[in-house]
Amino acid sequence: MKKLSLFVLCCLAGMSAFAQADKGIAIIPEPVSMVQHTGQYVLPVAITVQAPLTQPMTPVLDLIKNKFSTATGKMVHLKASAPTAAIKLILNKVADNTIGKEGYYLSAKANGVTIKANTEAGLYYGMQTLFQLLPKEIESKEVVKNVKWTIPAVDITDYPRFAWRGLMLDVSRHFFTKKEVMSYIDNMAKYKLNLFHWHLTDDEGWRVEIKSYPKLTTVGAYNVKREGEFGNFTPPKPDEPRNYGGFYTQDDIREVVKYAQERFVNILPEIDVPGHSLAAVAAYPELSATPGADKYVVRSGERIMDWTKPGHPALVDNTLNPAGEFTYQFLDKVVGEVAQLFPFGYIHMGGDECAKNFWEQSAEVKALMAKENLKTQEEVQSYFEKRLEKIVESKGKKFMGWDEILEGGLGPNAAVMSWRGVQGGIEAAKLGHEVVMSPTTFVYLDYMQSDPIMEPHVYATLRLSKTYEFDPVPEGVNAKLIKGGQANLWTEQVYNIRQAEYMTWPRGFALAECVWSPKAKKNFNDFFNRVEKHFARFDEAEIKYAPSVYDPIFKAGFNPDSTLNVTLTTEVPGLDIYYSFDNSYPDRFYPKYTGVLNVPIDATQLRVITYRGKKPVGRMVTMPITELRKRIK
């Protein structure tokens, strides 16, 4: 009996320790496997790190020194051999096929931490996981006192599901400084995202210095500043100063590329053509097939396309001339200089949303169609894309474009980034082409994260739970041709880096898990429990994120007697909703939502706030009754 009681007590103690460890562990993206043990490791006053002291290891060692010294204030000693080291980083002499190029093994015990990997990238990702095992204060930008720096005892095996784990930042609509771009890369690297897609050109600005064509930046990089709702701005007057914007010199580009490489991030540059090219045309009007292009200016956000009509005709010709030889001479030099700046093997050449109504009117384009036996404007764009693909390949790079490049016929070696859903990616894969999935349905980070009354207005909503459903491999497609997945942050309504952070996180966490973690392990409730712990880490790091996931979802309807009702739901479980119709601000002492609400006849607004227990977690949301009625119609 005593033995049985002792056994039960031991089990309970073990379960308690396991539960405590589980409560504190919140790794994003979820590792392939993790076994937790009782106990923990306490970092010593001075941290000795055993690691190969080689040049390729410099990024990993710099990460360790900077992170520990900044937040803990502890001294870090790097040694090639140290049997009692706090942290041991080991490169496998014989490659372990289980973990591949970017995977790692992490073992934390009472006497220290060991991380093993086949490559320096694997050790880097192992360290990022180790930092997530430490208290949240490790993310602080200054030394934090009175923190016990402990690491729970755990064994982790981890490796990515996909090699292409991307985030795109549009720096054309609004210019982001070199330092801001670097901070964006820092944050994505923390979560094992390894591909930074840099959207460098569009109608609103050309951001990369091209020495062969200096007016691309002296003219094309600047517009008239406007604030408000992009797409509906007042057209600038001729005398308004064009001083809003900026560009990256070629030295800036090299610096950012090196910075990204040190975080094991590749950079995919995008030069968006033949549409979205107004900044280039404003600088060099001879690129246009339309007379009068010399009067064009870089767009500030005024209306230039009619999105209500088929083919979204342009009001201003923002395309390059597919029939002009100067266009291809221009692109040859541009691509040549870009190829020298970016070591990554691919160059993205856009191809999306090319309005063709001005091409239809061009005598040059009509002559090209007759000469090349092109029947449609889609075939004209295909002619352009295939010539451009040859230019890109002549510079030693692989050609990539948005899924519109499928229309009219795909070039022989083109890679496709599928954004209009997954169908374009499916079609390209069935033709034997490489594909990166980036569908609006799941990963367009410019979309609103909550109710439209709470977010900068965009034409669609994408909640965190929907992003978490993303799977880059559709059924029936050869998975070997799906290189991976990517989320895109277009910045029409994103004016600064703080808003870029707000739009990226926490949906960026969901993306990271969708492209790294095993599909079978995905569970939204478990994921969100970890997200909340990373909110606390972002607070420490002073990184902005969106609390939109706590906002309730409104659904309005009519009762049989034509009075209005409203149903409230929450995206995450365990939240209570408190509400008022009397124009006051509810808290947890107000009525709690338990079912469909009938709207009082004279009410003008519904206010709601979400709580977890006694703590408010959501924002105060004010919903006009007129808005609810409008949505029913």
CATH number of the domain that residue 328 is part of: 3.20.20.80
Per-residue model confidence (pLDDT) at position 23: 54
Instruction: Identify whether residues 233 and 142 lie together within a single domain.
Output: no
CA distance 288 to 284: 8
> Are residues 265 and 319 located together in one domain of the fold?
yes
Domain contains 6: no
For the segment 582-632, what is each residue's pLDDT rounded down to a tens digit?
999 999 999 999 999 999 999 999 999 999 999 999 999 999 999 999 999
> Which residues constitute the domain of residue 114?
24-158
The one catalytic residue among 276, 348, 433, 534? 276
Q: Tell me which of 96, 262, 352, 353 is the catalytic residue.
A: 353
Residues 316, 210 share a domain: yes
Query: Largest Cα–Cα distance of the chain, in whole Å?
Result: 98
Is residue 106 within 8 Å of 170, Cβ to Cβ? no
pLDDT at res. 1: 35
Rounded Cα distance, 488 and 483, in Å: 16
Q: Pick the last residue of a domain from 541, 572, 607.
A: 541
pTM (two decimals): 0.95
The CB density around residue 575, as the number of other CB atoms within 10 Å, is 18
Give yes or no: 353 in active site: yes
Residue 410 and residue 354 share a domain: yes
Give the up-direction half-sphere exposure of residue 131: CA atoms within 13 A in the CB hemisphere: 29
Query: Is 77 assigned a catalytic role?
Result: no
3-state secondary structure of 202: strand
Q: Residue 11: inside a domain, yes or no?
A: no
Q: 482 pairs with which residues across the strands?
A: 435
CATH number of residue 599's parent domain: 2.60.40
d(CA 188, CA 309): 38
Which of 495, 459, 452 shows the shortest CA–CA distance to 176? 495
Which H/E stretch holds residue 437? strand 435-437
* Count of all residues that appear for the chain in the document: 633
Q: At 383, which amino acid appears?
A: Y
96 catalytic per annotation: no
Same domain, 129 and 153: yes
Which residue among 139, 202, 209, 571 is the active-site one? 202
How far, in Å, CA of 185 to CA of 255, rounded? 13
Rounded to the nearest integer, the mean pLDDT of the chain is 95
Judged by phi (left if over 0) then psi (alpha if -120 to 50, else beta), residue 448 lies in beta
Whether 12 is covered by a domain: the verdict is no
Closest CA to 595 of 632, 633, 566, 631: 566
| In a shared domain, residues 172 and 141 | no
Pair 339, 403 in one domain: yes
Please check whether residues 105 and 185 belong to one and the same domain. Answer: no
* Angle, CA of 463, 464 and 469, to the nearest 5°: 100
* Number of folded domains that form the chain: 3
195-199/266-273 β-pairing: parallel
CA 395 – CA 401 distance, rounded (Å): 16
**Domain final residue pick, 541, 559, 581:** 541
What parts of the chain have a pLDDT lower than 50?
1-22
As a whole number of Å, the end-to-end CA separation of the chain is: 72
